[in-house]
Amino acid sequence: MSEDVQNHIKTYKKVGIALMILTVVTVLVSYAPLGVPLAITVALIVAITKGSLVVSFFMHLLEEKRAITAMLLMTVVFFFVLMFIPIFHHADRLGDYFTLPNADAPTVDHSAEH
């Protein structure tokens, strides 16, 4: 085998070992006496790390920096669009009195106003 193929195989083995270690870390964290927010944070950090290893090395996206940057920017833009939709909806109803479903708030009889 050529030197380049041997280097790729070594890299794949290292990434595979790292994924196995992170899987063990995931199982150990699930048994750790952590609060729910901290447990979710640690689980997400481990999952993002494992996912980035798979995407970077096994899917060969480490060399695709331009496409990754474009996709990341598009993701950020869509994230902000989706976050601002509820904010704009709330701002649209500013000053209107409305009750939430199943809320113990008093209701307003609009028919008496006219």
Which is higher by pLDDT, 100 or 24?
Answer: 24
Residues 7 and 58 in one domain: yes
**Residue 45 belongs to some domain of the structure:** yes
Residues 32 and 79 in one domain: no
Total domain count for the chain?
2
- For 12, residues 6+ apart whose C-beta sits below 8 A from its C-beta are 57, 58
Residues 5 and 38 in one domain: yes
Residues 51 and 4 in one domain: yes
**Residue 58 belongs to some domain of the structure:** yes
Rounded Cα distance between 90 and 5, Å, is 57
Rounded Cα distance between 27 and 50, Å, is 14
Tokens, residue 14: 């290292």
pLDDT of residue 49: 92
Q: Tens digits of per-residue pLDDT, 65-106? A: 787 788 889 999 999 998 888 777 766 666 666 666 666 656
Q: What domain range is 33 assigned to?
A: 1-63
Residues 49 and 32 in one domain: yes
Whether the per-residue pLDDT at 11 is higher than 70: the answer is yes
**Residue 107 belongs to some domain of the structure:** no
**Residue 114 belongs to some domain of the structure:** no
In degrees, rounded to 5, the angle at the alpha carbon of residue 94 between the alpha carbons of residues 90 and 99 is: 75
Q: What is the pTM of this model?
A: 0.55
Residues 59 and 69 in one domain: no
Residues 2 and 37 in one domain: yes
Residues 1 and 46 in one domain: yes
